[in-house]
Amino acid sequence: MTTDQENKGQDLSELNDNVARIEELSQRLANIMAHRKTVRPSLQAPGQEFYVKTAGSVWADMMANPSKMIEHQVSFWGKTLEHAMEAQAALAAGDFKAPEDPGPKDRRFSNPLWDTHPYYNYVKQQYQIASQTMEDALKDVEGLDDEGTKRMKFFTQQIMDMMSPTNFLATNPDAMERAVETKGQSLVQGLENLVADLEANDGELLVKLVDESAFEVGKNIATTPGQVVFRNRMMELIQYAPSTEKVHETPLIIFPPWINKFYILDLKEQNSLIKWIVDQGYTLFVVSWVNPDASYADVGMGDYIEDGYLAAMREVKAITKQKKVNVVGYCIAGTTLSLTLSLMKKHGDKSVNSATFFTTLTDFSDQGEVGVFLDDDFVDGIEEEVTENGYLDSFFMSRTFSFLRPRDLIYGPAINSYMLGKTPPAFDLLYWNGDSTNLPAKMAVEYLRGLCQNNSFATDGFDLLGERLSIKDVDIPLCAVACETDHIAAWKASYDGIRKMGSKDKTFIVSQSGHIAGIVNPPSKKKYGHYTNEDWPESSGDWMAGATFNEGSWWGRWGAWLAKRSGKHIDAREVGDSSHKPLAPAPGTYVVAKPNV
């Protein structure tokens, strides 16, 4: 048999194997879609009222300003025809190349064929012309309030991102090139990845962002030494082993958000804030929250305060023999920390010496980008969901946050996985991002209705545990760190809330980057800087205008601030005491436990 015949035989064998594999995967795909979990429509898209109101405003604007509509239409068709004629002229000249491309640069279209190949260039430019026309048409629509306008632009952008030619096999040169290079194997692997993701989420598509097999909590992430020294229904309290001979007298407790797991602060040694704090000579305790199931349906914000915050403070004071502690709250845990401090003020409890807030919202008058999901249409759907099931499945939170950055967290990963057939990267941050948690029914509704929608804490007061809690009650020394490009807790909104607190000793820092990278920003990276300003003008814009930019991480600045409020140095403490025997090595059991759902 000749070499050519052998190659053809091998190619035919590979083709037959791939066809058989596709048939098997197609059967699995049909099966999972036939048994797909039903998701209530109110959690899938804005309510009908939003569409009616938006469409009515657009139509009224068109009737009131017909010239504006005609101008947009003429501009669109003019650009479309001009580009079509340019493409036709380029082909008629006999050169198989695209016309000159003056369009905006977009990293989605980084393959050179988008600029040089007449077919791909034509598709790209037509998409860009249509997208720009949609943006221009919505800029001046009247009849909607600011929130309605923001939602209209957000969901329109979602449609535009979804319709990008990069998202379709026939119009994605990267996918077509790889299919040819791999003799179709990339498409088979992509189908395998698609089916696996659908099966993992009961038929709902949530793109896997990371190679989960590359990480194991407690083995190669979350490895800072410590012990669980207390456990109750709501949390495990971890005390970390000292790494210095001397430590500050006042212990420190970190309350991480319970929407995700605490080890975002302890991913690996090089970027672990937990390890860094321990190395600065602090007795550090971190709360690891339980991942709730339906049995936690009646757990509310008050339970997190009593069995989480207050319980942790009580146990830490007992272990360290101290009357005061310093505390940190991150994101929603910072919001709840402010509620706790208000409650403690009402009760005359002076156990907290100072508080630090990471990316924390306490004034929700500006809800930021996530506000598009906080209108009644979505919140009503969430309330129906948790009333029926007893908890809000982590799937919904993951999907919501993904839609805030769809190009990076949905379409880009989907293209790599399903079209290019690639294995997701081994990236610790993305592993943590996918390891999300459920929310108890009562807590979810209290938070969304009372804090996010009604903004009660920053206005008339938030009723909880028999008290009316107010932002003005937070009057202890505090430091707040917000992030410049945070899409979950906008720094300006964070500033507004911290400014309303009653403390006379306040420090505000704005870190470059976003909700996670701005916080997990070790000094060794020398990557993101931060802004500081000792003044507290009414406007956050004025604060930034008068701020000083500082190179490097904010960690050292905060460490110096905390050191001044942490007492004298004493001999390093042993982990636990006679009444707090080690229950499990860090990172504990709650962080890896699977809820019964």
Average pLDDT of every residue of the chain:
89
Task: Give pLDDT, residue 248.
Answer: 98
Within-domain flag for 390: no
Within-domain flag for 216: no
391 and 290 Cβ atoms separated by less than 8 Å: no
Shared domain for 189 and 230, answered yes or no, is no
d(CA 52, CA 42): 15
Shared domain for 552 and 490, answered yes or no, is yes
Please report the beta strands in 400-446, taking only residues with DSSP state E, as ranges in sequence order: 439-440
Extract the tokens encoding 377.
Answer: 């249409």
Please report, for residues 243, 489, 544, the alpha-carbon distance to residue 315 in angstroms, rounded to integers and kept in the order given.
Answer: 22, 30, 40
Amino acid found at 130: A
> Which helix (DSSP H) or strand (DSSP E) does residue 284 occupy?
strand 284-289
318 and 299 Cβ atoms separated by less than 8 Å: no
Q: Look at residue 541 and tell me whether its pLDDT is greater than 70.
A: yes
Task: Give pLDDT, residue 135.
Answer: 86
d(CA 378, CA 49): 12
> Which helix (DSSP H) or strand (DSSP E) does residue 329 occupy?
strand 325-330
Please report, for residues 462, 472, 587, the alpha-carbon distance to residue 329 in angstroms, rounded to integers and kept in the order given.
Answer: 19, 18, 19
Domain end position, chosen among 153, 171, 194: 194
Amino acid found at 422: K
Query: 495 lies in which domain range?
Result: 226-370+396-585
Q: Report, in this order, helix, strand and coil percent for the chain, each rounded to 5.
A: 50, 15, 35
Task: Give pLDDT, residue 379.
Answer: 92
Within-domain flag for 18: yes
**Per-residue pLDDT averaged across 283-312, rounded?**
97
pLDDT in tens, 402-454: 888 899 989 999 999 999 999 988 889 889 988 889 999 999 999 999 999 99
Task: Give pLDDT, residue 421.
Answer: 93
Shared domain for 186 and 247, answered yes or no, is no
Within-domain flag for 294: yes
Extract the tokens encoding 213.
Answer: 């097999």
| Residue 398's pLDDT band (cuts 50, 70, 90) | confident
pLDDT over 90, % of the chain: 62
Cβ contacts of 160 within 8 Å, gap of 6 or more: 131, 134
Q: Is the peptide bond before 587 cis (omega within 30 degrees of 0)?
A: yes
Please report, for residues 151, 377, 402, the alpha-carbon distance to residue 51 in angstroms, rounded to integers and kept in the order given.
Answer: 10, 11, 22
Within-domain flag for 206: no
Domain end position, chosen among 170, 194, 218: 194
Shared domain for 68 and 155, answered yes or no, is yes
Cβ neighbours of 21 (radius 10 Å): 15
Cβ contacts of 100 within 8 Å, gap of 6 or more: 86
**292-296, 406-410, 504-508: lowest mean pLDDT where?**
406-410
553 and 530 Cβ atoms separated by less than 8 Å: yes
Within-domain flag for 383: no
Shared domain for 408 and 520, answered yes or no, is yes
HSE, side-chain direction, 13 A CA sphere, residue 327: 30
Q: Look at residue 8 and tell me whether its pLDDT is greater than 60.
A: no
Number of folded domains that form the chain: 2
pLDDT in tens, 113-149: 998 888 898 899 899 988 988 888 787 777 777 888 8
pLDDT in tens, 353-380: 999 999 999 999 988 888 888 898 889 9
pLDDT over 70, % of the chain: 91
Cβ contacts of 503 within 8 Å, gap of 6 or more: 474, 475, 476, 477, 478
Shared domain for 188 and 230, answered yes or no, is no
Known catalytic residues? 331
The model's pTM is: 0.90
| Residue 47's pLDDT band (cuts 50, 70, 90) | confident
Task: Give pLDDT, residue 2.
Answer: 58
Task: Give pLDDT, residue 174.
Answer: 95
Domain end position, chosen among 194, 216, 242: 194
How many residues appear in the chain?
A: 597
**99-103, 241-245, 425-429, 566-570: lowest mean pLDDT where?**
99-103
Cβ neighbours of 502 (radius 10 Å): 16
Please report, for residues 45, 146, 402, 444, 566, the alpha-carbon distance to residue 38 in angstroms, rounded to integers and kept in the order given.
Answer: 14, 33, 20, 21, 52
